[in-house]
Structure 1
Amino acid sequence: MTFDVCFVRLMLFLLPSLFGVNAEHLRAENVHLLPADQHHVVMNYGMRVLPRDCHEMLLSSSGHARDGVYLIRPGDSAIVVYCAMREGGWTIVQHITVNSSVSFDRAWADYKHGFGYVTGDHWLGNEYLHQLSAGPARYKLGVKLVDRDAVTKTGEYDPFLVEDESSAYRLRLGLFQGTAGDALMQHTEHYLHDNQKFTTKDRDNDNYFQNCAKLEFQGVAGGGWWYDACAGANLNRRNVIYWQKDCNKERLCKYAWMMVKPSETVKPVHCSDCKKDEL
């Protein structure tokens, strides 16, 4: 494909944002995650066949797509997401800033459908995490942490799966690699987040005698998460982003992201209490 053809294809889905096309009737199941006055920032508004995820969008643009808000269709309906194109086409599913104005102390329904704004601090929604990770391709989960000294650490779990609501959005994780610690599958106190169901303040699915999502630190509740009894990691506690030794009360982190992307290769499954054909 020549450069001219690539440029034309890129412009076709960038035109709405460049020229302010009225996207007042933006059709997205999670349109509440984008302020009404920002509907025009959707980079591929009007695209006839939507990509399944950000990585597919990047490939369809021959690598020219920019970071920003896109429409994707991981299931039956379109949703808005933020795409980290410069980092390889990751679909952002969570972003938090320490002491964020967005509350993560939410009920089951909010965590199911998402809250916040995709252009800032947000949770995309457990239902969309399920749709994205359920295939047909195998997906991996990326974590990005930035501390107050601007030191960035990353990690990846491959493969990654969030089961459906009937299974309480149970988390399934594969092999880990990265510069951050493996806080979801290894911990000095043996907290194991792999294979845990999701818990919110109104739906207790954890292994503690109290509801982990309700436990407070400095007056801030833990928020929804795949708790054990309780946590070796929790990226939804907005006053202390927690990731074992990388982010904690003594080593404050300023930002955290969770993101998903198709696996480049199929790796051996390594998860507790699950069979190979379950991932």
Structure 2
Amino acid sequence: MFTIKPSPSSEQFQVLCDMRTEGGGWVVIQNRYGGSENFNRSWDEYKRGFGKPPGEFWLGLEYVHAMTGGDTVLPVDISLQDVSNDEAIFKSHQFSVGSEKEGYAIRLVDKQVGRSLTKLAGTKFSTSDTTDGHGCAKTLGFGWWFNKNCTASNLNGNYPKEGDTKNNGVFWEEFRGMDNRLNITSIRLRAKVPRIH
């Protein structure tokens, strides 16, 4: 764990860093791999974060915005593994999340990461206790950036259970469609912020 302070106006906070992937320097913002953490959370919990790194956790939208605020854009790396142990990685060199006032909207995404995330450019984050205009978060019960059809992706969805015959909610449409059940996901941002200690 490292303590970082992305800007003079932001607070210090602790992050889990991946120092192995592509030379390191990645801040992990989401980690799922066993279903031990409940991701059906309120707006405030998604804002401030939950779980305990290095286990399953969500860093917090306020901290992601602190790292990508203003004109800052960071590379994002999204690693996925399905229940058949097949893996996929999606990357973007331009990823940014707006402020809470902006609904933590995804502001910039290049085409490299693929349609499952580019479909979400400009989309606001929503949870079951907020209104997203589409009803996706209320219907699915989990926080995410949902497109109008709720079909692009949801890495915070209901974790797959043994014996499930169809997807329970964790999916990345571009990785074999909505019915491909994912059981390991990780979202990482390559940090450009100074480490405190």
TM range (shorter): 0.7 to 0.9
Match of 2:173 among 231, 244, 250: 244
Partner of 1:144: 79
Q: CA offsets, 1:69-114, max 9 Å, x none?
A: 221122432211111101121100011236x121111111101100
Shift of 1:146: 1.4
Match of 1:82 among 8, 16, 30: 16
Partner of 1:258: 187
Match of 2:115 among 182, 190, 194: 182
Partner of 1:200: 127
Shift of 1:121: 0.9
Matches within 5 A, 1:78-227: 78-87=12-21, 88-97=24-33, 100-134=35-69, 137-177=72-112, 181-185=114-118, 192-206=119-133, 208=134, 211-216=135-140, 221=141, 223-227=142-146
Matches within 5 A, 1:2-41: none
Evaluate the alpha carbon distance shift between residue 71 and residue 146 of structure 1 in structure 2; reply closer, same or farther with a 3 A threshold.
same
Shift of 1:151: 2.5
Q: Which runs of 5+ in 2 are unaligned?
A: 160-168, 193-197
Which one-letter code corresponds to 2:64 in the other structure?
A: L
Q: Sequence identity of aligned pairs in percent?
A: 30
Q: Higher strand proportion, which one?
A: 2
Which one-letter code corresponds to 1:115 in the other structure?
A: F
Q: Higher helix proportion, which one?
A: 1
What is the TM-score of this pair, normalised by structure 1?
Answer: 0.59
Give the structure, 1 or 2, with the largest relative contact order (CA under 8 Å, sep 6 or more): 2
Distance 1:175 1:123 in 2: 23
Distance 1:85 1:202 in 2: 36
Evaluate the alpha carbon distance shift between residue 166 and residue 152 of structure 1 in structure 2; reply closer, same or farther with a 3 A threshold.
same
Which one-letter code corresponds to 1:215 in the other structure?
A: T
What is the TM-score of this pair, normalised by structure 2?
Answer: 0.81
CA RMSD, 1 decimal: 2.1
Shift of 1:135: 5.7
Q: CA offsets, 1:236-265, max 9 Å, x none?
A: 0032321014265643222001111158xx
Verify the 8 A CA contact 1:241 1:248 in the aligned structure 2. no
